[in-house]
Amino acid sequence: MPRPPCLDSSCQLTGSAATAATDESAVIPPGSVYLVTQLYTGANVDVLVTAVDNR
């Protein structure tokens, strides 16, 4: 399965953020503005994205 892509303001790929863990916590690549999430059809789960700028 492809990893969720991270995109910059021009919709260019900056990388991806995914793990094999149930809680897919990962670092969002620098320069990312958008994070695309996806679920299988019929899945009834919440998607929580928390982004923190640690600069």
C-alpha to C-alpha distance for 29 and 11, rounded to whole angstroms: 14
On the question of pLDDT at 36 being above 50, the answer is yes
Q: How confident is the model at residue 3 (pLDDT cuts 50, 70, 90)?
A: low
Its domain, for residue 17, covers 1-55
Q: How many separate domains does the chain show? A: 1
Residue 48: C-alpha distances to residues 10, 18, 51, 55 (Å): 24, 14, 10, 22
Least confident of 6-10, 11-15, 37-41, 45-49: 37-41
Instruction: Give the pLDDT mean for 24-52.
Output: 79
